[in-house]
Structure 1
Amino acid sequence: MSRITRCELMEWQTAGRSFTLLDVRRAAVRTADAAEIPGARWLDPESVFSWKDSVPRERPVVLYCAHGHEISQGIAATLDVMGLDARYLIDGFAGWRDAGQSTQGL
């Protein structure tokens, strides 16, 4: 399992690199934030074993949770074991937003 910094994710976005961006914050946290990183798709972390097989395998997967700790790291580890190139965003959504990076409303 790998990690990715805010700067690296910004570079991937601006360079048009092909990757899957997944928001795996808990539903209540996501709703309270009322925003997400542009291009992200929300998947309920409580249902990871229901959706894990639907994640595209042909490109890297970047996951973010609220702070880049247990949730995104755990799901990235699960996907990594399945053979995917899975990375979690260091400091999660909070770090992204606090650094003034682009977000969009839900």
Structure 2
Amino acid sequence: AAPWRRAMQGHAVSNVIPVVGANRIGFEPWADYPNGGQAFYGASFIADHRGDLVSALDDEEGIVAASFDLDFLATHRAAWGFFRDRRTDLYGALVSPRPV
């Protein structure tokens, strides 16, 4: 759970936007494979625009919630520079046609 949570918190920082990560808990057996299945480890959370945890669960069922000031986030995101300095006019050179 920890590496997944850290990666998602990194996405919050990289995009300067809160991130919600939801994951169920428990075990789901596979009908076609009696000894197989998928384990779900929980660790649902909400991270703010800096990647800091605002609300989190570990391995229990529950609900996480948080409120954010969208005007503040828009201003902060614009001032951060990640997106301000983009050269969207150059993006076309990165797109190649799909093979038929």
Q: TM-score if structure 1 supplies the norm length?
A: 0.22
Structure having the higher helix fraction is 1
Q: TM-score if structure 2 supplies the norm length?
A: 0.22
Structure having the higher strand fraction is 2
Considering only CA atoms, is the larger Rg found in Structure 1 or Structure 2?
2
